[in-house]
Amino acid sequence: MALDHRIGAAAGVAGPVCFVGGWLTASTIRPGYSNIHDAISQLARLGAPHRGLMTAAFVGFGIAMPAFAPTLAEHLAGGRRLQAAVTLAGAATLGVAAFPLSKAGGGTEDLAHATCATLAYIGTALSPILGGLALREAGKSAAARTSIAIGVASAVALATTAFANNVGIFQRAGLTIVDAWYVATAAVILTEGTRRTLVPAGPAPAGPAPARPGPASLVP
C-alpha cells in the first residue's frame, strides 16, 4: 500500500476518534450537561466552559475526513460521489467550528451554524449509503446491505433531531453509527495494506514450465 493511502486510512480512524473523544470528554467535565437532551454544538457555544476542547474536536474531524475521502473512494470503487460525501462531512464540520452558536441564540451566526450542521449531516448519512452501493456493485452483498442500513438509520436519527426533545441522543446515534463505519472501513484498508506488505507476491516464472515427459519418451 502506498504511503498516501496509509495516511488516508489512518485519518479515517483518527478523525472519528477525535470527534467522539472530544464530545465525550467535554460533556463529562461540564456540569449540568446532558448527552441525551443537549446537542453536541452546545459544548462549543460561545461562552461555554471548555469550548476550546469541542472546537478542537470539530477541527480534527474536519481536517481528517477530506484526507480519508479519496482513499475510501478508491478502496470501495465508490468514485467521486463517495469522495464528495465524505469530504462534505468533514468540510461542513469545519464550518460548524468556524460558526459556533452565539451566547444569546438566534441571529446570523446561528443560521450559519445550522446550515453547516445540516450539510455535515447530509454528507455523514450519504457516506455509508454510497459506499454500500459500491460494495453491491462489487458483489459484496452482505457488506452492502449493512452499509446502506447504517446510512439510512443515520439519516432517520439525524432528521429526528429537527423536532425531538431529546436532541442529544438522536444526534449522537446518527453520527456515531457512521463514525464507527468510517473507523471499520479504515481499519480494513490498513489491515489489507499490512498483509500485502508482509506477504509480497512471489517472482513470476522466467519462462514456460518444462513439459513432463510423455509415455513415448520413456521408451528407450
- pTM as predicted: 0.86
Is residue 157 over pLDDT 80?
yes
Cell 432517520: give the residue: 156
Q: What is the DSSP string of 57-78?
A: HHHHHHHHHHHHHHHHHHHHT-
CA 127 to chain centre: 7
Task: Please check whether residue 151 is in contact with residue 129, taking contact to mean a CB–CB distance below 8 angstroms.
Answer: yes
Task: Please check whether residue 44 is in contact with residue 103, taking contact to mean a CB–CB distance below 8 angstroms.
Answer: no
Handedness of CA 181, 190, 123, 73 (dihedral sign): negative
- In this predicted model, what pLDDT tens digit does every residue of 16-47 receive, in sequence order? 999 999 999 999 999 999 999 999 999 999 99
